[in-house]
């Protein structure tokens, strides 16, 4: 897992930087994150019902939170040399 991808996704979503979020969607190795971003951006651009957009946004944010929790649990297992 690359924790930087989750931090970037959260930052780009918070700042409404949709172009950067799209680039992250293409470059990330996490396919679940990529799909969550894709669904949110599609809803944001094409959906007229705000509740659908909100549902996809919350789904993306929940996944980012979940992935960050998992990466924090795995972090102590790595050595200092792997972190640098």
Tokens of 84: 């640098």
Please tell me the predicted confidence (pLDDT) of residue 2: 79
Closest CA to 40 of 10, 67, 70: 10
Residue 22 CA to residue 18 CA, distance in Å, equals 6
Question: Average pLDDT of 30-47?
Answer: 97
Cα separation of the two ends of the chain: 15
Answer yes or no: is 60 within a domain.
yes
Q: Where in the sequence is the domain holding 58, given as residue range(s)?
A: 3-71
* Model pLDDT for residues 42-77, shown as the tens digit of each residue: 999 999 999 999 999 999 999 999 998 887 666 555
Answer yes or no: is 55 within a domain.
yes
Number of domains comprising the chain? 1
* Model pLDDT for residues 2-19, shown as the tens digit of each residue: 789 999 999 999 999 999
Tokens of 21: 């979020």
Answer yes or no: is pLDDT of 84 > 70. Answer: no
Tokens of 72: 């924090």
């Amino acid at each position: 897992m690359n924790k930087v991808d989750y931090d970037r996704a959260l930052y780009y979503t918070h700042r409404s930087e949709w172009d950067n979020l799209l680039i992250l969607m293409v470059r990330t190795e996490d396919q679940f994150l990529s799909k969550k971003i894709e669904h949110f951006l599609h809803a944001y651009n094409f959906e007229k019902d705000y509740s659908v957009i909100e549902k996809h946004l919350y789904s993306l944010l929940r996944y980012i939170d979940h992935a960050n929790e998992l990466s924090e649990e795995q972090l102590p297992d790595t050595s200092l040399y792997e972190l640098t």
